[in-house]
Structure 1
Amino acid sequence: MTARPLALLALLVFASTALADPAAWRSEWRDTDFTRSSVEDWDQIISGGPPKDGIPALSDPAMIKASQETRLDPREPVMTLEMGDTARAYPIRYLMWHEIANDTVAGVPVAVTFCPLCNTAMVFDRREDGRVLDFGVSGKLRFSDMIMYDRQTESWWQQALGLAIVGDLNGTQLRQIPAVMESWEEFRARHPDGLVMDQPRASRQYGVNPYRNYDSAAQPFLYRGENPPHGIAPLARVVRVGSRAWPLERIRQAGELREAGVILRWTGGQASALDSARIGQGRDVGTVRVTDAQGRPVVHDMPFAFAFHAFHPDGQWMLGR
């Protein structure tokens, strides 16, 4: 019991264990077309506890200069987005409680997203067929991963894939934008004149990890699916590039890997957001940067192994043997 945070236990009490039935959701999702879906088994979708918008997504978050920010621990993780001459950091301490930040960076509408249960931190272009979508948190989970929804059509989107799975936009793929999770100290050193998302005006315990000890648990929370192969622990971090996954521990031990047309480099100094009670005190999991041979950033993310296996069942495990 001690390995699971009280917040997760509270969610477990309220999480739906009944078989999924789209008919039961129509009163809450009147504008969602459930006849259009790529979900083969509705039982894969369950309630995570909070209702629609119970986890409030952010829109047009306030930004301050990096030099003005004094609340973040140097080792705290931030999602860094560099577009043109613009560099912005989105602290995980805020995304932990809001999961989505709808923003516009260098003229591009983006959704900065983070699902704590899968450790999937991904940035997407919010444009779809000439219009801009605004995303919220549905309160539903599939394979433990957040299901987002867009407020324009109320279609449902699988965050780990950036793919619409239910509704008018079923089958639509969002473009993922290169971003990296790094420590606040790393961002501030590289971008002293950069911007960082200011603390939202909400009553939350920012800086506290509500999922204490989660990434050292034996099994993921609210997960209905297979464990990863090759004896890899379900909650071990991997670096995903396309449909390939490199175990984080392998990259850490090597320091640098050059495989499959990409370069993966590990440096220490970043705290795990899902370890200790205070995010900045989490154990060192380090930062991984992925580039091509010319040094250009490559789209990637760092999910838990179970999430990669769930959403890329035919993916390639880069084990080096």
Structure 2
Amino acid sequence: MRFLSLLIVFFTATMLQASPERWRHEWPETDFNRTSVTNWAEILSGGPPKDGIPAIDDPQFLHARDETRIGPTEPVITVAIGGQKPRAYPIRYLMWHEIVNDRVGGIPVAVTYCPLCNSAVTFDRRTRAGVLTFGVSGKLRHSDMVMYDRQTQSWWQQAVGEAIVGKLTGTQLKMLPSWMESWQQFTARNPDGLVMAEPAYNRDYGRNPYRGYDSSRRPFLYSGELPPHGIHPLERVVRVGDRAWPLTRLSQAGEISEAGVRISWVAGQASALDAGQIGKGRDVGSIRVRDGRGRDVVHDVMFAFAFHAFWPDGQWMLGR
């Protein structure tokens, strides 16, 4: 009987951990009855609470020529929309804030970066429920950031841009073309461009709190399947739709034209997740993805394990 009682206690505790009950007190306005999540054990606390990583709203900008803090090889996310001056969002800031709610040429955007997946995606914040603003939930799923919107308190998977819990479950955000490149590459092409100014927070901007992460054997807080074909889980891949090109292949080729896109690689961008100081990270190069007419294509440069987690039936473009 004692063994049976212990078994019941263990089973109950396990079920509680694999249910939304543990989150309800923190998220009283979130509708947990509406969800696409089938296994609640996939959602874990990343450590910080809700808004413990503060998103940036209405950022300030400088002219690129006036910025002196950013090292030449430091990565930035470049957003260029419809005739507006290109904007650079430095990873030195997104490393600590992960989401920037901004407007570019009248379009409300969310520029996002998840360090644990190296996923940098820009979204249009307009939805059927209106214009949303996003914050960091403090939760992870497959080691990827779970965002939330402040209007409905729904939860969103950053890597795919889809609501997974709450009123807006199933809603898909539109992804906008953006890309990561070095600060030097951005300024050489856009001497009159704009760059996000340093936020007014007490953070050690420029430091990488995940030192050596992209050389680790396994991802942090991830228990899913590892990538096939012997691909290292923390190898960078270029994701376009449900296809992934290993960065090692692209860096060797320089340029590849396949599946309707042309992907080019150039040296000069530091890994944000290598050295203690972002600007001193090893060179992983920069990627641009364009279609047959030379237009920028939505893509992401993410870790292989994250691609496999969210696109388990995706196509690996190995060139074999």
Cα gap change, 1:199 to 1:264, in 2 (>3 Å): same
Aligned to 2:53: 55
Aligned to 1:69: 67
Aligned to 2:165: 166
Shift of 1:27: 1.1
Tell me the secondary structure at the aligned position of residue 93 of structure 2. helix
Does residue 45 in structure 1 map to residue 43 in structure 2? yes
Residues 20, 46 of structure 1: 8 Å contact kept = no
Aligned to 2:145: 146
Counterparts of residues 72-87 of structure 1 (less than 5 Å) = 72-86=70-84, 87=86
d(CA) in 1 for partners of 2:157 and 2:62?
Answer: 31
The percentage of counterpart residues that share the same residue type is 67
**AA paired with 1:32?**
T
Q: Tell me which structure has the larger Cα radius of gyration.
A: 2
Shift of 1:130: 5.9
Aligned to 1:289: 288
Shift of 1:85: 2.2
Aligned to 1:263: 262
Shift of 1:100: 0.1
Query: Which sits farther off after the overlay, 19-28 or 91-100?
Result: 19-28
Tell me the secondary structure at the aligned position of residue 164 of structure 1. strand
Does residue 280 in structure 1 map to residue 309 in structure 2? no
**AA paired with 2:51?**
D
Aligned to 1:94: 93
Aligned to 1:219: 218
Aligned to 1:233: 232
d(CA) in 2 for partners of 1:56 and 1:146?
Answer: 13
Counterparts of residues 6-17 of structure 1 (less than 5 Å) = none
d(CA) in 2 for partners of 1:133 and 1:236?
Answer: 33
Aligned CA RMSD, in angstroms, stands at 0.8
Shift of 1:25: 1.0
Aligned to 2:301: 302
Aligned to 2:316: 317
Aligned to 1:245: 244
d(CA) in 2 for partners of 1:252 and 1:196?
Answer: 27
Aligned to 2:22: 24
Describe the superposition over 1:34-56 as per-residue Cα deviations: whole angstroms up to 9, x where unpaired: 00000010000000000000000
Q: Which runs of 5+ in 2 are unaligned?
A: 1-15
d(CA) in 2 for partners of 1:184 and 1:40?
Answer: 41
Tell me the secondary structure at the aligned position of residue 93 of structure 1. helix
Tell me the secondary structure at the aligned position of residue 49 of structure 1. coil
Shift of 1:21: 2.5
d(CA) in 1 for partners of 2:87 and 2:262?
Answer: 24
